[in-house]
Amino acid sequence: MKQDQAELSDFTIGPTSSRSLGSLSRIVREVSLAASLEEVLQVIVVQTRKMMAVDVCSVYLTESNGSHVLMATQGLHPEAVGQVRLIPREGLVGLVAERAEPVNLENAAAHPHFKFIPGSGEEPFQAFLGVPVLHQRKLLGVLVVQQKIARQFDEVDVSFLFTLAAQLGGVIAHARASGVLQKPMGSQNENGPERYLTGIVGAPGVALGKGVVVYSATGLDTVPERQVANIKEEERIFRLAVVHVSQEIQSLGNHLELSLANEYQPLFKAYAMLTGSQSLVEATVERIRAGEWAPSALSTVIKEQARRLEAQEDLYLRERGNDLREIGRRILGYLQNVAPINLEYPENTILIGENLSAMDLAEVPMGRLAGVISAHGSGFSHVAILAHAMGIPAIMGISKANLGQLDQRELILDGYQGRVHLEPSRLVRQEFARLARQEQQLTEELKGLRDLPAETPDGFRVHLYANIGLLADIELSLAAGTEGVGLYRTELLFMVRDQFPTEEEQYAVYRKLLQAFTPSPVVLRVLDVGGDKFLPYFSIEEANPFLGWRGIRVILDHPEIFLTQVRASLRAAEGLSNLNLLFPMISAVSELEEALHIVRRAYEGLVEEGVRVTWPRVGVMIEVPAAVYQVEALARRVDFLSIGTNDLAQYLLAVDRSNERVAELYHSLHPAVLAAILTVVKAARRHHKPVSVCGEMAGEATAAILLLGMGIDNLSLTAGDLPRIKWIIRNFSQQYARELLARALREEKPEPIHKMLCEALDNFGLGELIRGGKTSSPLL
C-alpha cells in the first residue's frame, strides 16, 4: 500500500488545524501500512470514528454501474457490510455522490432523500455528514459519519472529513487495484462482480492461460562499489562477458526466428550490437581502468545511459532504456557467475514481469506464449511491438498490482479493454474462450489483406505507411504490407552515441533504409531534440524545456548539425529518388524558410562536388497550434503536410499524457482536436498538397473512420495496427465516413463521438477490431 502522498502540511483545517492535522497524519500513516482494501477501509472507519468522536463512520464504494455498496462500518451492524446496496441517486449517500459535495444534516430522517434500510442499525442516528471520495475526477465512494444527537457538524468537522476523503482518494484507488489480489483464493467467483486489473493496451487480442512471473537474479541497483588490483584481468573478464551475452542474444533471436519467419531477427542483431557498442563498452572500460571492479563499473554506465533514454519525451525512445537495462542485467549475471533462473512454461503461458524485454519473450518455448503482462512500459516498448508481431495480447502499465500473486494463476487477458481478469466465473471463461477462437479466425483473415490495397468500397485510396525508429523495424513493417515509411525518427541514431554521428555514419544508415523500401517513399524526420529529449553530449538546460529550445529551433541555431544530416540523407538517396524530408515543431514561416535554405545549401554543395543528387520532397509537421493557424502559408512552401496528432492534441488540450493526474483528460476525439485536423486537411486540399497523419490516431480503429471521412491521403502507423486499419478502410465507404464525421463535428464532447463510432463498427460487423471476437460480449 506504499504510495506517494501529498505533504499533509499543505492542508489547513481551520482553528483546530494542529489537532486535526495530527489526527489526519496518523490515519494516513496507518493506511500506508495496510496490506489490502479491506484493511484500508477498516482503518478509515475505526480511526475516523475515534478522531471525530462520532457514533458511526462508514465507507460506501461506488461500482462501475453507479451503485454504492457499504464496504466498511464502525457503528452500524457488521452484517450489513456487503449487503447494503444503493442504486444511483438513492438515499443520502446517493445525494452526496450526485452532487459530489458534502451533505451536512442535523436531522437526516427529515430529509426527502433519506432512505431507511431495515437491518442496518441506523435507526437511532440523526446527525449525518457525508463527503465524496474522489480521485482524478472519478467518484470512488462516499465517506459518512453519523451521530445519535441532532446537531449540525461544524466547519472544522466538515473540513477534516473532506480533507481526509481528498487525501485518501488516491490511497483507496491504489488499494482497489492491488487489494483485490489479497482476497482468499478459495472458490471461483460465480455470482459476484468480476474482478480485474486495468492497464494500457500494448497489443490487442484475447488470451486464456496460466501466469508465469519472470524475475531477475541480478539487480543493477544492488551492486556494491569495490576496487580491484588486477585491472587488466578485470577488463578481460568484462570483455568476455560482453561477447558471451552478445552470442546469447543472437541465439535467442535465432530461436524466435522460427516462430516469426525472420521478421524480428534484426532486432536481436541490434541488441547484440548494443551489447558490444563502443559507448557502452568503452565507458565501462574507462571506469575499470580507473580501478573500479567490472560489476559496479557496468552498473553505473548502464544506469546513466538508460536514464538518458528514459528521460526522453518520445515514448518510443523512452522505452529503449528498459532494453538497455535488460542487457546490463544479463552481462552482470555473467560477471557475478549467477546461474540463470530456469522457469517452467506451461501451455498457454501468460508471461508476467516488472519490466519485460523482448529477450524474456524469446525465452518461452515456441508455441507456448499466449499473452504478456508488464508492470511498466507502453505500446512503444519492444515487448508490445513484438507481441503485435506474434499475434498475442499484451497489457502494459499495471504498476499498482502485486504481480507476484499472479504467478501460476489462471488468468484472462482482454487486450482490447486493457484488462486482466482474476478469478473469472464459468460464464466469463466460456465467453472469452469463444472470443479467443474468433480472434484466431480474425487474425487469419487479416493476413489475407497483406497485398491488397487500402481502398474503400466507393473507390477512395489511402496509403498506409509505417512508423520506424530502428532499422530492426524494417522487416516487420514490410511483412505487414506497408507501402513505405511515413515517419523515420532519426533521434535514436544520435542518442546511442557519445558524440554526433559523422556524415558517413548517417549516410550508411539512411542508405540502408532507403534501399530497403525503394521505390516506396521514406519520410525522414530531421533531428528533433529538446524538451526532455536530449543528447548526452549536447547540453540543453532551461526552465521550461517543452516551450523552449527544441525541435527545428535547435538545429537552426546549429546549422552545422542540420547541414551534415541533410548532406548524408541527400547522398543516401542517390539513384533512388524516394527521400522525403520532414521538419518538426515548425511554429513560424520564417523557421520553415530558414530550414529550406539549409537544404538548398546542402544540395548545391553536393552538386558542386559532383554528386548526382536530386532535390527531395520536403514537408512540415503540423504539431503545434501556431502551425494550424498558419497552415495556408506553410502549405504554399512545401510538398506535403504531416499531422503529428500526439503533440498537437497535447498542446491543444494542455495535457501531458505521461502525467497520471491529467492523462485521462487527453482524448484524440476531442472536438477541438478534430476541428484542428480538419482545418489542416482543407488547407492542404486548397493547395493540392497531400496530407498525412503520423500520430497514434492513425492506428485507432474509431479515429481512422473520421480521418477517412476527412479525406486524409496517408496514414503512418505501427506495423501491428496496419492490417486492422486496412480492414476498416476496405469495409467503410468514404461517403458513410463523411456522414459520421459530420455528426461528430456537431458534438461538443468526445464521449458521444467515441460511442457513435463504436456503434458504427458494430453495425458493420467490425466490432472485433476494438473488443475482440465477432460480436461484443453481453457479460462485459
Contact 758/764 with Cβ under 8 angstroms?
Answer: no
Residue 688 known to be catalytic = no
CB neighbours of residue 77 within 10 Å: 14
- What is the model's pLDDT at position 169? 75
- What is the model's pLDDT at position 33? 65
Domain annotation for the chain: domains and CATH numbers: 8-182 (3.30.450.40)
Backbone angles phi, psi at 432, to 5 degrees: -70, -30
- Residue 263, classified by CB atoms within 10 Å of its CB into exposed (0-12), middle (13-18) or buried (19+), is buried
Residue 667 known to be catalytic = no
Contact 494/540 with Cβ under 8 angstroms?
Answer: no
Tell me the pairing of strands 195-198 and 200-203: unpaired
Closest by Cα among 138, 41, 776, 725 to 414: 776
Backbone angles phi, psi at 172, to 5 degrees: -65, -40
How far is C-alpha 108 from the geometric centre of its chain's CA atoms?
Answer: 46
Closest by Cα among 386, 226, 532 to 540: 532
Contact 80/73 with Cβ under 8 angstroms?
Answer: yes
- What is the model's pLDDT at position 376? 78
> Which residue among 382, 421, 463, 754 is the active-site one?
382
- The amino acid present at 759, given as its one-letter code, is E
Per-10-residue mean pLDDT of the chain, 780 residues long, equals 35 37 69 68 87 91 82 86 82 91 91 83 85 83 93 86 76 56 38 66 86 72 77 90 80 59 52 68 90 88 81 61 79 71 84 81 85 80 74 80 77 85 77 76 77 95 90 76 92 69 90 95 85 52 45 76 92 95 92 94 95 96 95 97 92 73 77 97 97 91 96 91 91 96 96 92 75 36
Instruction: List, in order, residues 6 or more apart from 136 with CB less than 8 Å away.
Output: 173, 660, 661, 664
Q: What is the DSSP string of 491-519?
A: HHHHHTSSSPPPHHHHHHHHHHHHHHHTT
Q: What is the DSSP string of 292-309?
A: B-HHHHHHHHHHHHHHHH
- What is the model's pLDDT at position 773? 42
Contact 631/681 with Cβ under 8 angstroms?
Answer: no
pTM: 0.60
CB neighbours of residue 6 within 10 Å: 11
- What is the model's pLDDT at position 179? 43
- What is the model's pLDDT at position 429? 80
Using CA atoms, how far apart are residues 485 and 720, in angstroms rounded to an integer? 14
Radius of gyration over alpha carbons of the chain, in Å? 29
- What is the model's pLDDT at position 379? 67
How far is C-alpha 619 from the geometric centre of its chain's CA atoms?
Answer: 28
Tell me the pairing of strands 127-135 and 419-422: unpaired
> Which residue among 463, 694, 754, 758 is the active-site one?
694
Closest by Cα among 451, 380, 477 to 719: 477
Using CA atoms, how far apart are residues 461 and 714, in angstroms rounded to an integer? 9
